[in-house]
Chains A and B, each alone.
Chain A
Amino acid sequence: MLKIVGGCLVLIGSAGVGWYMAGRSALRIRMLEELEGLLQQLYGEIEYAGCDMVELLRKLTQEARYFRKMWQSVADQLESRSAGRFQKIWQQELQQRELLLLKQEEKILLAELGQTLGQVDRQTQLYTLELYQKRLAEILRHAREEYHGQAKVYRVVGITVGFFVVILLI
């Protein structure tokens, strides 16, 4: 009886790890999707409303989920006018936030975005945002493809490993 209960627990635990890993991949995609939305919103606001950066970040804070604290903190620091240049504030935030789920390529994209935001004229700003949108769309496409393959593998491996351990234990 004890062996059966133990085996079930091992199986559930192992399958849970598989599901957790698949969930992490899904979360990364949701974060990237939020970033994609952010870039679209930035583009629209700069093109049509000409909002300044603090106003823009406040708007983004209202709609963001994963990056809410980051936009809020950057907006607060900009508003205080005592934290120095935008690039520095942005870099510090990226380092502090430890966006673990994002891959290096995605972190680089975010860092580069901070180097151009608010630094150039409207036309150049829109052009650079367009480029970031294209790069991010490509990253997102890869991430979705990866996810479809990986999520299945994580779950199957999770269950299979669970079964093997149970068999070995029994």
Chain B
Amino acid sequence: MREWQRQPGDSLRSEQHRTRNREQEIYQILPRSLRGIFHQMKLDFIRLQEIRFRIGAPVLILYGGSEYFVTSSGKITKEVSQAYYLTREELRETMEYISNYSLYAYEEELRQGYLTIQGGHRIGVAGKIILEGRQIKNIRHISFLNIRLAHEIPGCAAPILPYIFQEDSIFHTLIVSPPCRGKTTLLRDLIRMISDGGSGHTGMTVGVVDERSELGACYMGQPQNDIGFRTDILDGCPKVEGMMLLVRSMSPKVIAVDEIGSGADVEAMEYVMNCGVKLLATVHGEGMEEIQGKPVLGRLIREKMFQRYILLGGEQAGMVEAIFDERGSLIASYRELGGERTAC
């Protein structure tokens, strides 16, 4: 068993602790009228993925991959006729809890369309958009909320770790995946393992540019997800500025960024690589051919800047299809990786 994987003996207690924490974190943002209902439902909060609030519409939850309505008697159902309908007052109360009764303090986050709360859970918001020129200035009359519970899978990156380590460092690595296939979850766990070290590998200082607060899920500057004890995070920082800043100020050995795409991102990555810092990044893509065809990123691939490509895909989320080296040669396939899902 690798040191960086959770030990089976630890799991029960920490799992219970995590469930209790999640429960508490979610309860404290629910309107008081719904707290009792959710309590009666006796949900397993690890399986709870989303809660959807819309004014005048049924309360919906995504639980164990399926969508259910919440009833006023504290049950979950597929029948809309029994559903509990959310009032405007209840949504406003929720919004006050989410924003710590201080909407003015979360203006920047609201402009991005989401807030992160204690526990790293993300609340997506929608309502009336206020524009200034063509830029979103603010959101008013918030009427729709999507409470997405934080999703961490410690140890999910363990099968691929041997393929990206080289002596006392790592290879420049790019995770390629279609949307919602678990690339952020995988990247988060890779960061944690590289940072903490273990199994003969020394831990490394990792700098994370977390533009959308998805990796660390920082709440008041403190990461809510376990991303390792040698990790520094620039939360809510644009990737280009963040990567430069980290190289100059925090002397990381590895820099991790999620969802690269623009030409400026690629230029900043080149700068990082030329500074002797290793790079861990993710990109949207269906396969190697697709990302090679991307105008700016394709050049980096053709110039063999990345040394490892982890391709997620297949039917299930979190499934590592293959790992390639810088020449595009297959070095590990789904079967060699144990034929199991890693993330999600």
Task: Tell me whether A122 is interfacial, beta carbon within 8 Å.
Answer: yes
Report the minimal beta-carbon distance from A121 to chain B, rounded to whole angstroms. 5
Contact B101 A53 (CB under 8 A): yes
Contact count A vs B, C-beta below 8 Å: 52
- Chain B binding surface SS class: helix
| Residues of chain A contacted by B32 (CB below 8 angstroms) | 82, 84
CB nearest to A75 among chain B residues:
B101
How far apart sit A84 and B30, CA to CA, in the bound complex (Å)? Answer: 10
| Residues of chain A contacted by B103 (CB below 8 angstroms) | 118-121
Task: Tell me whether B99 is interfacial, beta carbon within 8 Å.
Answer: yes
Selecting from B9-17, B59-67, B90-98, B272-280, the interface stretch reads B90-98
| Residues of chain A contacted by B110 (CB below 8 angstroms) | 121
Report the minimal beta-carbon distance from A96 to chain B, rounded to whole angstroms. 19
Report the minimal beta-carbon distance from B115 to chain A, rounded to whole angstroms. 12
How far apart sit A46 and B103, CA to CA, in the bound complex (Å)? Answer: 11
| Residues of chain B contacted by A6 (CB below 8 angstroms) | none
Report the minimal beta-carbon distance from B39 to chain A, rounded to whole angstroms. 13
How far apart sit A122 and B224, CA to CA, in the bound complex (Å)? Answer: 26
Task: Tell me whether A78 is interfacial, beta carbon within 8 Å.
Answer: yes
Given contacts A81-B28, A121-B138, contact A50 B93 (CB under 8 A): no
Contact A52 B28 (CB under 8 A): no
Return the CB mask of B26-51 against A: 1 if under 8 Å, else 0. Answer: 00110010000000000000000000
| Residues of chain B contacted by A117 (CB below 8 angstroms) | 101
How far apart sit A52 and B102, CA to CA, in the bound complex (Å)? Answer: 5
Task: Tell me whether A51 is interfacial, beta carbon within 8 Å.
Answer: yes
CB nearest to A81 among chain B residues:
B28
Task: Tell me whether B107 is interfacial, beta carbon within 8 Å.
Answer: yes
How far apart sit A53 and B97, CA to CA, in the bound complex (Å)? Answer: 11
Contact B96 A85 (CB under 8 A): yes
| Residues of chain B contacted by A54 (CB below 8 angstroms) | 100-101
Task: Tell me whether A86 is interfacial, beta carbon within 8 Å.
Answer: yes
Contact B100 A46 (CB under 8 A): no
Contact B92 A46 (CB under 8 A): no
How far apart sit A82 and B101, CA to CA, in the bound complex (Å)? Answer: 13
CB nearest to B138 among chain A residues:
A121
Report the minimal beta-carbon distance from A47 to chain B, rounded to whole angstroms. 10
- Chain A binding surface SS class: loop
| Residues of chain A contacted by B101 (CB below 8 angstroms) | 52-54, 78, 86, 117-118
For residues 46 through 105 of chain B, which have their beta carbon under 8 Å from a beta carbon of chain A? 89, 92-93, 96-97, 99-105
Interface size range on A against B = 20 to 34
Task: Tell me whether A73 is interfacial, beta carbon within 8 Å.
Answer: no
Report the minimal beta-carbon distance from A48 to chain B, rounded to whole angstroms. 12
How far apart sit A124 and B107, CA to CA, in the bound complex (Å)? Answer: 11
Given contacts A81-B97, A86-B96, A121-B138, contact A51 B105 (CB under 8 A): yes
Contact A52 B96 (CB under 8 A): no
How far apart sit A125 and B99, CA to CA, in the bound complex (Å)? Answer: 15
| Residues of chain A contacted by B89 (CB below 8 angstroms) | 85
Contact B102 A53 (CB under 8 A): yes
For residues 93 through 137 of chain B, which have their beta carbon under 8 Å from a beta carbon of chain A? 93, 96-97, 99-105, 107, 110
For residues 104 through 131 of chain A, which have their beta carbon under 8 Å from a beta carbon of chain B? 117-122, 124-125
Which residue from A51, A81, A85 sits with its C-beta under 8 Å from B92?
A85
How far apart sit A125 and B92, CA to CA, in the bound complex (Å)? Answer: 17
How far apart sit A119 and B93, CA to CA, in the bound complex (Å)? Answer: 11
CB nearest to A74 among chain B residues:
B101
How far apart sit A86 and B97, CA to CA, in the bound complex (Å)? Answer: 10
User: Sorted from nearest, which 9 A-B pairs have the closest CB atoms?
Assistant: A52-B102, A122-B104, A52-B100, A53-B101, A118-B101, A125-B104, A53-B102, A81-B28, A118-B102
A-binding residues in B (CB < 8 A): 28-29, 32, 89, 92-93, 96-97, 99-105, 107, 110, 138, 140
B-binding residues in A (CB < 8 A): 46, 50-54, 56, 78, 81-82, 84-86, 117-122, 124-125
